[in-house]
A and B are shown apart, each in its own frame.
Chain A
Amino acid sequence: MSVRLSTGGRLIDRATEISFSFNGARLKGYAGDTLASALLGSDQMLVGRSFKYHRPRGIVASGAEEPNALVNMGEGARFEPNQRATTTELFAGLSATSQNHWPSLEFDVGALNAKLSRFLPAGFYYKMFIHPRSFWKHVYEPFIRQSAGLGRAPDSEDADSYEHFHLHTDVVVVGGGIAGLLAARAAAVTGAKVLLMEQTAHWGGRAPVDGGLVDGQPVGDYIDALVRELSEMPNVTLRLRCMASGVYDHGYLLGYERVRDHQPGAPGPRHRLWRVRAKQIVTATGAIERPLSFAGNDVPGVMLASAVRDYLVNYAVSAGKRVIVATNNDDGYRTAIALKQAGQEVLRILDARETGGGALMAEARRLGIRIDCGRAIGKVSGGKRVKKVQICAYAGAGGALEEVACDAVAMSGGWSPVVHLWSHCGGKLTWDAEQAYFRPDATRAPTGADGQPYVVPAGSANGVMMLDAICGDAVEAGRAAAKAAGYKLKKAAAIEAEPAPETPIEPVWMMPRDARVQLRMKAWLDYQNDVKVSDVQLAAREGYESVEHTKRYTTLGMATDQGKLSNINGLATLADALGAEIPAVGTTTFRPPYTPISMGAIGGEARGAVFQPLRRTAMHGWHEKNGADWEPVGHWRRPYAFARSGESVHDAVMREVKNTRENVGLLDASTLGKILVKGPDAGKFLDLLYTNMMSSLKPGKCRYGLMCNENGFLVDDGVVARIDDETFLCHTTTGGADRIHAHMEEWLQTEWWDMQVYAANLTEQYAQVAVVGPKARMLLEKLGGMDVSAETFPFMTWQDGTLGGFDVRAYRISFSGELSYEIAVPTAQGLAFWEALVAAGKEFGIMPYGTEALHIMRAEKGFIMIGDETDGTIIPQDLGLNWAISKKKEDFLGKRAQERAHMTDPNRWKLVGLETLDGAVLPDGAYAVAEGVNPNGQRNTQGRVTSTYYSPTLCKGIAMGLVLKGPERMGEVIEFPGTDGTVFKARIVDPVFYDKDGEKQNV
Chain B
Amino acid sequence: MKRYSAFAIAREALRFHTGWERAWRSPEPRRRYDVVIVGAGGHGLATAYYLGKNFGITNVAVIEKGWLGGGNTGRNTTIIRSNYLQDPSAAIYEKARSLYETLSQDLNYNVMFSPRGVIMLAQTHHEVRGYQRTAHANALQGVTTEWISPERVKELVPIIRLDGPRYPVMGGLWQARGGTARHDAVAWGYARACSAMGMDIIQKCEVTGVRTEGGKVRGVDTTKGPIDCGKLGIVVAGHSSHLAEMGGFRLPIESVALQALVSEPIKPCMDVVVMANTVHGYMSQSDKGEMVIGGGTDGFNNYTQRGSFHHIEETVRALIETFPMISRLKMLRQWGGIVDMTGDRSPILSKTPVEGVFVNCGWGTGGFKAIPGSGWAMAELMAKGHSPLTADFGLDRFREGRFIDESVAAGVAH
Contact = CB atoms under 8 A, between A and B. Distances in A.
Q: Are A and B in contact, CB atoms below 8 Å, in the complex?
A: yes
A518 B8 CA distance: 20
Contact of B326 (A555, A599, A609, A935): A599
A136 B264 contact: no
Interface string B104-145: 110011101111100000001110011011111101111000
A148 interface: yes
Contacts of A698: none
A602 B116 contact: no
Contact of B332 (A145, A596, A926): A596
B34 interface: no
Contact of A632 (B8, B95, B124, B146): B124
Interface string B87-111: 1101100010000011011001110
Given A125-B110, A873-B405, A939-B141, A612 B166 contact: yes
B67 to A, nearest CB: 4
B269 to A, nearest CB: 4
A80 B21 CA distance: 44
B333 interface: yes
A83 B238 CA distance: 38
Given A81-B264, A126-B4, A146-B267, A538 B329 contact: no
A128 B6 contact: yes
Interface in A852-910: 867-868, 871-873, 897, 900-903
A521 B16 contact: yes
Interface in A901-939: 901-903, 923-927, 929, 934-939
Nearest to A589: B335
Contacts of B91: 936-938
Interface in A132-180: 133, 136-137, 141, 144-146, 148-158, 160
A538 B20 contact: yes
B90 to A, nearest CB: 7
A150 B267 contact: yes
Interface stretch (B211-219, B247-255, B314-322, B356-364): B314-322
B1 interface: no
B184 interface: yes
A598 B329 contact: yes
B327 A600 contact: yes
A927 B138 CA distance: 10
Nearest to A77: B328
B135 A925 contact: yes
Contact of A541 (B22, B74, B132, B139): B22
Contacts of B184: 552-553
Interface stretch (B48-56, B224-232, B304-312): B304-312
B306 A425 contact: yes
Contacts of B320: 599-600, 603, 607
Interface in A90-134: 118-119, 121, 124-131, 133
B22 A246 contact: no
B67 A546 contact: yes
Nearest to B405: A873
B185 interface: yes
B352 to A, nearest CB: 20
Contacts of A129: 6, 110
A757 B298 CA distance: 32
A150 B266 contact: yes
Interface string B155-173: 0000101001111000000
Interface residues of B, number: 118
Contacts of A34: none
A743 interface: no
A793 interface: no
Which residue, A133, A155, A924, has most C-beta atoms of chain B within 10 A? A924
Given A128-B5, A141-B112, A926-B136, A900 B400 contact: yes
Contact of A545 (B26, B95, B125, B146): B26
Contacts of B110: 125-130, 136
Nearest to B318: A611
Interface stretch (A247-255, A494-502, A835-843): A247-255
Contacts of A967: none
Contact of A923 (B18, B112, B136): B136
A551 to B, nearest CB: 10
Which residue, A126, A521, A546, has most C-beta atoms of chain B within 10 A? A126
Nearest to B263: A599
Contacts of B285: 145
Contacts of B166: 611-612, 614, 632
Contacts of B130: 925
Nearest to B128: A924
Contact of A542 (B20, B67, B264, B335): B20
A938 B399 contact: no
Contacts of B395: none
Given A130-B4, A927-B136, A151 B267 contact: yes
B5 A127 contact: yes
Interface string B13-56: 10011101111111000000000000000000000000000000
Interface string B315-359: 011111100111111111111000000000000000000000000
B289 A560 contact: no
A252 to B, nearest CB: 7
B125 A640 contact: yes
Nearest to A158: B327
Contact of B267 (A130, A149, A517, A598): A149
Given A127-B9, A593-B334, A145 B140 contact: no
Contacts of B265: 51, 82, 148-151, 560
A117 to B, nearest CB: 9
B330 to A, nearest CB: 3
A153 B114 contact: no
B203 interface: yes
A552 B306 contact: no
A842 B51 CA distance: 76
B17 A130 contact: no
B147 interface: yes
B332 A938 contact: no
B287 interface: yes
Interface in B264-312: 264-269, 285, 287-289, 304, 306, 308-309, 312
Contact of A130 (B104, B140, B329): B104
A872 B408 contact: yes
Contacts of A609: 165
Contacts of A614: 166
B316 A599 contact: yes
A154 B306 contact: no
Contact of A935 (B142, B317, B388): B388
A602 B319 CA distance: 11
Which residue, A129, A543, A608, has most C-beta atoms of chain B within 10 A? A543
B264 A150 contact: yes
Nearest to A254: B309
A632 B139 CA distance: 29
A938 B140 contact: yes
Which 5 residue pairs of A and B lie closest in terms of their CB atoms, listed nearest first?
A925-B133, A149-B289, A596-B330, A546-B67, A153-B269
Given A133-B104, A546-B70, 14 more contacts: A129-B6, A145-B285, A152-B266, A541-B18, A542-B23, A593-B333, A599-B326, A599-B327, A871-B408, A872-B407, A901-B401, A902-B400, A924-B129, A929-B140
26 contacts: A78-B328, A133-B104, A248-B309, A249-B306, A275-B309, A426-B306, A538-B17, A541-B20, A543-B23, A546-B67, A552-B184, A560-B264, A560-B265, A591-B334, A593-B331, A604-B313, A632-B124, A900-B400, A923-B136, A924-B129, A936-B87, A936-B88, A938-B87, A938-B141, A944-B133, A977-B139
Interface of A: 51, 78-82, 118-119, 121, 124-131, 133, 136-137, 141, 144-146, 148-158, 160, 246, 248-249, 252, 254, 275, 425-426, 517-518, 521, 534, 538, 541-546, 548-549, 552-553, 555, 560, 562, 589, 591-593, 596-600, 602-604, 606-609, 611-612, 614, 631-632, 640, 711-712, 867-868, 871-873, 897, 900-903, 923-927, 929, 934-939, 941, 944, 977-979
